[in-house]
Amino acid sequence: MTRPDGVMVQEDRRGRVAICPYGLALSVGGDRDQVHFAIRGDETLRPIHAWLRANSDRSVQVVAEGEAEVFVNGTRITGPVSVPLGGKIRLGPRRTLTNIGVLDSGGAKRSFGLLAIPIRIQDYVFLRLVGRGSSGLVYEAYDEANDRRCAIKLLTAGGRASDGVQDRFRREVDLQSRLGDYPGIVTMWALDTVPGTGELFAIMEFVEGKTLRDTFKAGLERVAGVRLLARVGRAVHYGHERGLLHRDLKPANVMVTESGAVRLTDFGLCKALEEDDGMTATGIMLGTPSYMSPEQVEDAKRVGTPTDIYALGAMLYVHLCGRLPFLGKGVSEVLDAVVSGTKPAPLSVDPTIPVELSDLVVESLSLDPAARPKTALEFSERIERWVKAAVPPEQVSLSAPSTAPTQTAVRPVSDNRPPLTR
């Protein structure tokens, strides 16, 4: 039986991961020329701030370098301390490392439907499950080759999936990767397969935050919510300008960061506007019922940019009214309501809703695609005009950008370091 690679620690800012190997000391600090794991951009860290070593019980032993400030779970240490799984190591006043568990590349693997994490596939270390959908599981991961945090979407059925499911997954990656590094859309980096099994997985930008659906559920002030939706509309317009239609817009497919930025994701039903994707048969319904346009319900081949604008209107309705526009005892009743346009008017649900926003919802949810806003940009600009007229200008404080150098890659450890005490 082989020994595991070591115990992993993850830093808080960029999510970078270092492996603390058994029997070797790993140095951590601010000087990339002196340590194995450099944490840059923090002038309070010493060049060598601490030493780490993996213990056989999956804990990580930490020792401060000289008089450097090191805290374990909030308490400053004065000698070697073992940090258990999930324990926090704070370096100086503001940088934190977390013990996230053992990496065992040679260990037994379970089926991906019940993925045992952490696990390594090629250069990717799977860290934790962060989401699941009808066709895939999404994990936070660490890309060792590129020294970066990433998200990996794994096709649930993988190599056992039908050709159509695999083709749609490949197409999602291809279409989303065409959108490049636009800040309002999750960046897709690559598509790969698991050696030996053919399991498909996509590597993409990791977005730390929560979905717009969870943001709505937690309670969101009206102005803050419509600002987020205006940003979503601009991201949708960016995709439309580049010939891509999303077809599955909903709050669950929008990530919101702590700073209030949005990232549009999950392009599984995305379609290139200028071509027939060859995967949508006439009469087939694709999408999420509560956010689907009438034409999408009746025939998915008829959809165009007004379908995404309709979904934006449904999202705005949910935020303003606190409920879905179309309700029913089952999917068929919801779809009947969508096709007939049977829904309460926003002002009948909440009379305090501003008329300008109510009108935008009504137009966006029109049964006639031609009656909706002409573009997703128009949708966003109407929200922005209302915000500008209704909300006092915010005071903005400008500061010079940081000139701190970026973090560097982790170099291999050597044994030419002082041993730590067990």
The DSSP annotation for 87-103 comes to -EEEETTTEEEEEEEEE
**What distance in Å separates the CA atoms of residue 281 and residue 133, rounded to the nearest whole number?**
22
Distances (CA, A) of 421 to 22, 61, 62: 13, 9, 10
Angle at 219 between CA 217 and CA 220, to 5 degrees: 120
Given 5, 248, 266, 308, the catalytic residue: 248
| Residue 248 a catalytic site member | yes
Contact (Cβ atoms closer than 8 angstroms) between residue 122 and residue 167? no
CA–CA–CA angle 315, 317, 320 (5° rounding)? 110
Cβ atoms of 9 and 98 within 8 Å: the answer is yes
Q: Order across the sheet with 37-38: list the strands.
A: 37-38, 26-29, 50-54, 60-64, 81-83
**Cα atoms found within 13 Å of the Cα of residue 385, Cβ hemisphere only:** 10
* Enzyme catalytic residues: 248
